[in-house]
Amino acid sequence: MGEVLDAAAVRRWCRLAADALGRTRAGIDALNVFPVPDGDTGTNLHLTLLAAAERLDGLPGDADAAAAWRTLAEGALLGARGNSGVILSQMLRGMADVLGAGGGLDAALGNAADLAYRAVAHPVEGTMLSVLREAAGATLLAADPGVTAWTAAERARAALRRTPDHLDVLARNGVVDAGAAGLCVVLETLAAVVSGEYPETYDVPRRSQEHLPEDAPRPGGGGAYEVMYLLDADDGPVTELRAELDALGDSLVVVGGEGLWNVHVHTDDAGAAIEAGLRAGRPYRVRVTYLDAAQDRPARRTGRGVVAVAAGDGLAALLEEHGARVVRRVSGHVPGLAELTEAITEAGNEVVVLPDDGTVLAVAESAARQAREDGVHAAVVPARASVQSLAALAVHDPLRRFEDDVIAMTRAAGATRSGRLETAGSEAVTSAGMCRPGDVLGLVDGDVAAIGADASVLAAGVLDRMLSPGSELVTLIVGDGAPDGLADRVCERLYAVRPDVEVAVYHGGQDRHLLLIGVE
Burial class of residue 178, CB neighbours in 10 A (0-12, 13-18, 19+): buried
Contact by Cβ (8 Å): 486, 457 = no
Indicate if the pLDDT at residue 429 is higher than 80.
yes
pLDDT bin (cut points 50, 70, 90) of residue 190 is very high
pLDDT digits (tens, 9 = 90+) for 498-519: 999 999 999 888 888 899 999 9
What number does CATH give the domain 7-195?
Answer: 1.25.40.340
Question: What pTM was estimated for this model as a whole?
Answer: 0.58
pLDDT digits (tens, 9 = 90+) for 352-388: 999 988 888 888 988 898 888 777 899 999 998 999 9
d(C-alpha 151, C-alpha 502), whole Å:
75
pLDDT digits (tens, 9 = 90+) for 441-486: 999 988 899 999 999 999 999 999 999 998 999 999 998 888 999 9
The pLDDT of residue 201 = 83
Q: Give the right CATH number for 417-519 from 3.30.1180.10, 3.20.20.150, 3.30.450.40, 3.40.50.300.
A: 3.30.1180.10
Vertex 320: Cα angle to 319 and 325 (nearest 5) = 100
pLDDT bin (cut points 50, 70, 90) of residue 282 is very high
Contact by Cβ (8 Å): 32, 42 = yes
3-class DSSP state for residue 133?
helix
d(C-alpha 519, C-alpha 47), whole Å:
41
The number of C-alpha atoms within 13 Å of 54 and in the hemisphere containing its C-beta is 11
Mean pLDDT for the stretch of residues 111-132? 93
What number does CATH give the domain 304-414?
Answer: 3.40.50.510
The pLDDT of residue 13 = 95
Q: Where are the alpha helices (DSSP H) in 123-281?
A: 128-137, 145-161, 163-166, 168-173, 178-195, 235-248, 270-280
Every domain of the chain and the residues it spans:
7-195, 225-290, 304-414, 417-519
pLDDT bin (cut points 50, 70, 90) of residue 147 is confident
The pLDDT of residue 140 = 54
| 313: CB partners within 8 A, 6+ apart | 328, 509
The pLDDT of residue 4 = 67
Residues of the chain above pLDDT 90, percent? 57
Top CATH class, 225-290: alpha beta
Sequence letter at residue 112: A
d(C-alpha 69, C-alpha 59), whole Å:
11
Q: What is the mean pLDDT of the chain?
A: 88
The pLDDT of residue 288 = 87
Fold equal for 225-290 and 304-414: no
pLDDT bin (cut points 50, 70, 90) of residue 427 is confident
> Of 395, 338, 400, nearest to 370 (Cα)?
338
pLDDT digits (tens, 9 = 90+) for 56-96: 988 888 899 999 999 999 999 999 988 999 999 999 999 99
The pLDDT of residue 106 = 86
